[in-house]
């Protein structure tokens, strides 16, 4: 009876994806992470990072959390921090959707928008957020942390502890494969370790959006971009983060934006699933995995968030046409 908002993070259901399952002859399930209280899988990373910092006594009452994010981790952190009594400062690249900016501002985060630059440039949002956290910590004499979602291993460890356990239990241990894309690497890293510790024969696949390097990293052991930059958000990695390092991967897939968006429009119209951009990549990867593994398999992927954070892209005819992406017939 005494639950608060944080207690609602996790324990999301599995949804059977009808079209992908019928197409492949497999049972393909999506873990409905959009049902987390702040609306995405990143609620888990946010909670894992804060719980770890509290346990290490790196932050206490009235403290400040600084993070660089394309949006969802920042939204999750702001929710957790508001409930815990911490201030949130978010550094976000200008390429992030306007919807995510509005959510963060409306939740009371101190939002700093920076130019969208590659990680190698010290003006990249991750580097800017780290410097800001260090400056504030020195100025305030402590009680300031940098979330560091990409290299903070509390991220993947929380997924190993929660997400993997939930998936295994929800499938009664009868899971043959799991796949998702890599943003920080926390979800795939933690789930791969958690599932394989329970059954080493469970296959794990990395599904990479166009314009990223993880497909080539896992398939050919080389960091090399495949395809043009993606219009999906929150996924697509160019380096081996500390959350990627321990990941156990058996297969690797590459998905174009066109494939992902086309699949999302089909699912909203035929199954009522109103999903965000990265979900299209994940589901396309699950389909590819099912086709490779053969009929009758049980495969799980992540439904990261819903489409409400991407109206200005996903349901903007002018934007879609300018990017040579499919346009829903009803627009």
pLDDT digits (tens, 9 = 90+) for 63-112: 999 999 999 999 999 999 999 999 999 999 999 999 999 999 999 999 99
Out of 3.40.50.1100, 3.40.50.720, 3.30.70.2860, 3.10.620.30, select the CATH number for domain 42-146.
Answer: 3.40.50.1100
The token pair that represents 319 in the structure block? 């934007």
pLDDT tens by residue, 124-164: 999 999 999 999 999 999 999 999 999 999 999 999 999 99
Coil, helix or strand at residue 219: helix
Instruction: Point out the residues that are catalytic.
Output: 42, 278
Model's pTM, two decimal places? Answer: 0.97
Q: pLDDT at position 168, please?
A: 98
Percent of the chain scoring above 70 in pLDDT:
100
CA dihedral (245, 247, 250, 253) in degrees, to 10, reads -80
Q: What is the mean pLDDT of the chain?
A: 97
Q: DSSP string spanning 115-175?
A: ----TTSTTSHHHHHHHHHHHHHHHHTS-EEE--TTT-THHHHHHHHTHHHHHHHHTTT--
Mean pLDDT along residues 160-170: 98
CA-nearest of 101, 28, 74, 56 to 65 is: 74
Cβ neighbours around 291 below 10 Å, total: 13
Region 194-209 average pLDDT: 98
CA atoms within 13 A on the CB side of 166: 23
Q: Which fold has domain 5-40+159-322?
A: Rossmann fold (3.40.50)
How far is the C-alpha of 60 from the C-alpha of 245, rounded, in Å? Answer: 30
pLDDT at 1 over 80: no
Percent of the chain with pLDDT over 90: 99
Q: Mention every residue, 6+ apart, whose C-beta is less than 8 A from residue 238.
A: 118, 119, 212, 213, 223, 225
Neighbours of 107 (CB within 10 A): 18
- Pick the closest to residue 192 from 213, 177, 171, 210 (CA basis): 177
Pairing of strands 14-16, 27-32: antiparallel
Q: For residue 295, is pLDDT > 80?
A: yes
What confidence category does residue 2 fall into, taking pLDDT thresholds of 50, 70 and 90?
confident
- Identify whether the C-beta of residue 73 lies closer than 8 Å to the C-beta of residue 158: no
CA angle 245, 279, 179 (to 5 degrees): 40
pLDDT digits (tens, 9 = 90+) for 237-262: 999 999 999 999 999 999 999 999 99
- Using DSSP's 3-state secondary structure scheme, residue 61 falls into coil
Contact assessment for residue 40 and residue 70, using Cβ atoms and an 8 Å cutoff: no
Domain with CATH 3.40.50.1100 in the chain: 5-40+159-322, 42-146
Give the pLDDT confidence of 110-135 residue by residue, as tens digits.
999 999 999 999 999 999 999 999 99
Query: Partners of 252 in the beta sheet?
Result: 206
Q: Give the number of C-alpha atoms closer than 13 A to the C-alpha of residue 98, restricted to the C-beta side.
A: 5
Q: Which residue has better confidence, 319 or 2? A: 319
């Amino acid at each position: 009876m005494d639950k608060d908002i944080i207690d609602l993070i996790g324990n999301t259901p599995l949804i059977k994806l009808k079209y992908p399952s019928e197409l492949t002859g497999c049972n393909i399930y999506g873990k409905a992470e959009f049902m987390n209280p702040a609306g995405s899988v990143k609620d888990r990373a946010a909670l894992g990072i804060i719980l770890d910092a509290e346990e290490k006594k790196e932050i206490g009452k009235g403290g400040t959390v600084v993070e660089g994010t394309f949006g969802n981790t920042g939204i999750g952190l702001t929710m957790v921090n508001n409930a815990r009594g911490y201030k949130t400062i978010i550094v976000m690249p200008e390429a992030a959707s306007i919807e995510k900016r509005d959510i963060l501002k409306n939740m009371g985060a101190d939002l700093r928008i920076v130019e969208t630059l590659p990680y190698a440039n010290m003006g990249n949002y991750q580097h800017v957020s780290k410097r800001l956290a260090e400056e504030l910590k020195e100025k305030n004499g402590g009680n300031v942390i940098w979330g560091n979602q990409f290299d903070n291993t509390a991220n993947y460890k929380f997924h190993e502890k929660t997400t993997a356990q939930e998936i295994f239990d929800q499938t009664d241990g009868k899971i043959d494969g799991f796949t998702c894309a890599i943003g920080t690497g926390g979800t795939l890293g933690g789930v791969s370790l958690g599932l394989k510790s329970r059954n080493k024969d469970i296959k794990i696949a990395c599904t990479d959006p166009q314009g990223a390097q993880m497909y080539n990293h896992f398939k050919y052991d080389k960091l090399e971009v495949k395809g043009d930059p993606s219009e999906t958000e929150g996924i697509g990695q160019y380096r081996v983060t500390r959350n990627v390092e321990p990941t156990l991967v058996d297969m690797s897939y590459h998905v174009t934006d066109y494939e992902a968006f086309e699949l999302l429009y089909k699912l909203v119209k035929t199954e009522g699933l109103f999903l965000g951009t990265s979900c299209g990549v994940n589901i396309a990867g699950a389909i590819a995995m099912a086709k490779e593994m053969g009929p009758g398999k049980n495969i799980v992927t992540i439904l990261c968030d819903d489409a409400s954070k991407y109206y200005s892209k996903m349901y903007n005819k002018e934007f879609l046409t300018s990017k040579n992406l499919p346009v829903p017939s009803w627009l």
